[in-house]
Amino acid sequence: MLITFNNVELKYLDKEIFNNASFTINETDKVGLIGPNGSGKTSMLQAIMKMIPLSKGEIFQKSGLTISYLPQEPSLNLTSNILQEVITQTKSEKEYEAKAILSKLGLNDYEQIVANLSGGEKRRLSLAIALIKPCELLILDEPTNHLDIWMINWLEQFLIKWNKALLLVTHDRYFLERITNKTLEIEAGNVYFYNANYSKYLLLKEERMQSLLASNRKLKAILKKEAIWASLNPQARSTKSKERMMRFNELEEKLSKQNATISEINREMAFSSQFSRLGGKTIIIENISKTINGKKLFTNFSYNLHKLDRLGIVGQNGSGKTTLFKTIIGQIKPDTGVVIIGETVKIGYLKQEEPILNSKITVLNYLKQFGEEIKTLDGTISAASLLEDFLIPRSKQYLPLSMLSGGEKRRLQILSVLIQNPNVLLLDEPTNDLDIYTLELLENYLENFSGALIVISHDRYFLDKVVHHSFIYHDSILEEYTGLISSYITTSLTKKPTSITKNSKPVLNIPRFTSAEKKEFDQIENKITALEKEIKALQDETFLYGTDYQKLLELDQIIKEKKQLLDQMYERYEYLNNINDQIEKYKKEKYHG
């Protein structure tokens, strides 16, 4: 046992976040924590970290428990460089392990000052620190934020191999399915603990919902009977009458909570936009190219968008995906080529980040700026009803935007695009800040959308569900791919298995190096150091050839090749170091366990 919640209740001001939470996390558990935006997931993590007080109950922790925690808002020393910050915060002497993980997360300039990092880079630095810091329990709050698909795939493999306890808040459903073995759900103020990963949890939740519906029907029958009694009862009540009224009030409260829970569970996007006619000409992209600050983002890209296309755009961070969108809609002019948009095309463009400038305007009035209603296949839906369908209840619609969570603001931005009834959607990272419930609603809407869709996303599960084919960035060239994105990413990173000679002797499940691996592990740190010095010397040499462009090009190519080799060595170091850690753990358990 590492952590036990015993009837824990959390409140914020007068609002109850959750109550009667009771569960235990053991040393081999990998727990996925899920729930709608604003349900209290981050608050639960903060309660474990003793950052906020409990309203009721107790949280017991194993004596001397060590926890590594990735919060949503990183706390970093802005004056340190990247590598110094990792070493300082983790108190680790394994500099090569730090460099290997930083490299995997796209932070290759180890001397870069933290203050100069973007928000996404700071977030990735905090993730590296959390992964490296020794602990018995690793707590990660939305670890995939600001990671591209390749980084997410690497992190998934890292956490699958993780052999200690893990508590994970994420909307990445592949993470939940492949990594976790238990699911913790916060829903309508209740906390449920399932001994199951994501797909099994969904089946168990369905069973609970059916049971809840049956219980709800019984409660309604009893409540109706009690209501009749309550209305006829004289004012002068006996003790027995008072007890019965208390029971009636308890039943009413219980039914109200069950109805709220059923409402949370039973949500479904009830509309699909009415078809807005698209002519024969949609969007024709002819040989467009764009270079910014000397970096080629896309070269000679051509595509003719079809009426019901479901197209994904996939690439590493900084590859030029958003610039491609802006070029298509005419915000950026291509260096070469042309984009032709048909006369009947009505584009709905969701930006990756769209700051809401007037935070005092109410939620409903903000949406009405874009449309009073939306025409659907089942009739017309008002802006207020549309907000309800997208998990923003009437009670919140007259609040100022400043009162909404990040996820609720993102929902509102999506609705501001949909209510305009477009027939071509360009969505740039639509899944950012959305919980699983909202993702399912959005996927359901897009499945029934009567127009063309182009989407940029790092969410593999989302892409697998909504797109039919994709374009994937490869050094400014967009390559078309017609399979599942998750399959592509896995296949592209799969290494050829090493051949294993069969042995008639029984194989014991004991971690060990081969003799060659042991020799390699003993020497790899020195080799990495030598290669780093070699690269530094080559970089210094470039300053001697300020105007000799031919020589600079030659040096640049050599440095690139050396860096690629260094990345391979970091990866190899990580692999060997993982074996070494398993060997040390085995020795400790055998001789001291």
Residues whose CB falls within 8 Å of the CB of residue 62, separated by 6 or more in sequence, listed in order? 1, 2, 3, 136
**CA distances from residue 123 to 164, 169, 170, 470, 558 in whole angstroms, order as listed:** 23, 15, 15, 28, 31
From CA 141, how far away is CA 130, in angstroms rounded?
A: 11
Q: State how beta strands 469-474 and 310-314 pair.
A: parallel
Residues whose CB falls within 8 Å of the CB of residue 436, separated by 6 or more in sequence, listed in order? 34, 171, 173
* Radius of gyration over every alpha carbon of the chain, rounded to an integer in angstroms: 28
pLDDT in tens, 112-123: 999 999 888 999
From CA 309, how far away is CA 300, in angstroms rounded?
A: 21
Same domain, 192 and 208: no
> Between 57 and 507, whose confidence is greater?
57
Percent of the chain with pLDDT over 90: 44
* Residue 103 counted as domain residue: yes
Full residue range of the structural domain in which residue 391 is found = 283-493
Give the predicted TM-score (pTM) of the model.
0.75
* Residue 270 counted as domain residue: no
Domain end marker among 152, 172, 201: 201
From CA 277, how far away is CA 41, in angstroms rounded?
A: 43
Min mean pLDDT across 240-254, 261-275, 324-338 is at: 261-275
* Residue 500 counted as domain residue: no
* Residue 276 counted as domain residue: no
3-class DSSP state of 508? coil
Residue 243, pLDDT score: 60
Same domain, 182 and 46: yes
Min mean pLDDT across 13-22, 197-206, 396-405, 511-520 is at: 511-520
* Residue 338 belongs to domain with CATH number: 3.40.50.300
* Residue 275 counted as domain residue: no
Domain end marker among 265, 291, 316: 265
Min mean pLDDT across 109-118, 228-237, 284-293, 543-552 is at: 228-237
Same domain, 132 and 231: no
Q: What is the identity of the amino acid at 419?
A: I
**Average pLDDT, stretch 321-326?**
95
pLDDT in tens, 9-23: 998 777 788 999 999
Q: What is the identity of the amino acid at 443?
A: E
Same domain, 481 and 558: no
From CA 40, how far away is CA 12, in angstroms rounded?
A: 10
From CA 346, how far away is CA 364, in angstroms rounded?
A: 24
**Average pLDDT, stretch 93-98?**
83
Beta bridge partners of 11: 16
Domain end marker among 201, 223, 245: 201
| Cβ atoms of 181 and 168 closer than 8 Å | no
| Cβ atoms of 6 and 59 closer than 8 Å | yes
Confidence of residue 284 (pLDDT cuts 50, 70, 90): very high
Q: Tokens representing 428?
A: 């740039």
Min mean pLDDT across 91-100, 131-140, 466-475 is at: 91-100
From CA 239, how far away is CA 247, in angstroms rounded?
A: 12
Same domain, 152 and 287: no
Angle between helical axes of 436-447 and 406-418 (0-180°, round to 10): 10
| Angle value at C-alpha 443, between 440 and 444, nearest 5 degrees | 85
Q: Which of 60-69, 204-213, 397-406 has the highest mean pLDDT?
A: 60-69
Residue 568 clears pLDDT 90, i.e. is over it: no
Same domain, 257 and 362: no
| Cβ atoms of 58 and 8 closer than 8 Å | yes
Q: State how beta strands 190-194 and 182-187 pair.
A: antiparallel
Percent of the chain with pLDDT over 70: 82
Domain count, the chain: 4
Same domain, 371 and 474: yes
- The secondary structure element, H or E, covering residue 53 is none
Residue 166, pLDDT score: 97
**Average pLDDT, stretch 60-73?**
94
Q: Tokens representing 92?
A: 């680790």
Phi, psi of 34 (to 5 degrees): -130, 160
Instruction: Say how many C-beta atoms besides its own lie within 10 A of residue 250's C-beta.
Output: 11
Same domain, 346 and 260: no
* Residue 29 counted as domain residue: yes
Q: Which of 493, 574, 81, 128 minimizes the C-alpha distance to 316?
A: 493
Confidence of residue 192 (pLDDT cuts 50, 70, 90): very high
* Residue 543 counted as domain residue: yes
Beta bridge partners of 290: 298
pLDDT in tens, 244-254: 556 656 666 65
Burial (0-12, 13-18, 19+ Cβ within 10 Å), 157: middle
Residue 240 clears pLDDT 60, i.e. is over it: no
DSSP per-residue string spanning 263-318: HHHT------BPP----S--EEEEEEEEEETTEEEEEEEEEE--TT-EEEEE--TT
Phi, psi of 64 (to 5 degrees): 75, 15
Residue 57 clears pLDDT 80, i.e. is over it: yes
Q: What is the mean pLDDT of the chain?
A: 83
* Residue 277 counted as domain residue: no
The DSSP symbol for 494 reads: P
From CA 387, how far away is CA 151, in angstroms rounded?
A: 34
Residue 358, pLDDT score: 74
Beta bridge partners of 472: 314, 479
Same domain, 231 and 343: no
Phi, psi of 307 (to 5 degrees): -60, -40
Phi, psi of 197 (to 5 degrees): -80, -170
| Cβ burial 385-412 (10 Å sphere, 16+ → b, else e) | ebbbbbbbeeebbeeebeebeebbbbbb
| Cβ atoms of 259 and 216 closer than 8 Å | yes
Same domain, 135 and 225: no
From CA 160, how far away is CA 147, in angstroms rounded?
A: 17
Same domain, 481 and 536: no
Same domain, 470 and 574: no
Residue 551 clears pLDDT 90, i.e. is over it: no
Residue 357, pLDDT score: 65
From CA 106, how far away is CA 125, in angstroms rounded?
A: 9
From CA 388, how far away is CA 398, in angstroms rounded?
A: 13
From CA 362, how far away is CA 320, in angstroms rounded?
A: 35
